[in-house]
Amino acid sequence: GIQVEQSPPDLILQEGANSTLRCNFSDSVNNLQWFHQNPWGQLINLFYIPSGTKQNGRLSATTVATERYSLLYISSSQTTDSGVYFCAVQGGGSNYKLTFGKGTLLTVNP
């Protein structure tokens, strides 16, 4: 099946700093989503971005499908941005299953 690798596994920032999270995948995809899992376990949709670039406030994402990677940018980070960020993809012959990476644990200190 399709493989998803996220980097870095852990990231510690001071409030106000910017960061870039990366997601590499091993096959062509027809769906790519970025999620934020907060400390209560809720999985929040950030972006549906199988290709192209999108922005939502301080967050933006870019997927270069031909090169099999996606980037999530967080600008002017806040303590509420802390949590685990997951990249999940559909591809490699599956039209239903989202395959998740292991996530990036982001800690934003005040």
Partner 1 sequence: SQTIHQWPATLVQPVGSPLSLECTVEGTSNPNLYWYRQAAGRGLQLLFYSVGIGQISSEVPQNLSASRPQDRQFILSSKKLLLSDSGFYLCAWSTGAEQPQHFGDGTRLSIL
Q: Which residues contact partner 1 (rule: CB under 8 A)?
A: 30-31, 33, 35, 40-43, 45, 48, 84, 86, 88, 90, 95-98, 100-103
Q: Which is nearer to partner 1, 5 or 62 (CB)?
A: 5
Q: Which is nearer to partner 1, 17 or 105 (CB)?
A: 105
69 backbone dihedrals φ, ψ, rounded to 5°: -150, 160
CB of 4 to partner 1, least distance (A): 9
* SS3 assignment, position 29: strand
CB of 33 to partner 1, least distance (A): 6
CA 74/CA 85 separation, integer angstroms: 11
Instruction: Tell me which DSSP letter residue 90 carries.
Output: E
Q: Check if the beta carbon of residue 76 is closer than 8 Å to that of residue 58.
A: yes
Q: Which is nearer to partner 1, 13 or 84 (CB)?
A: 84
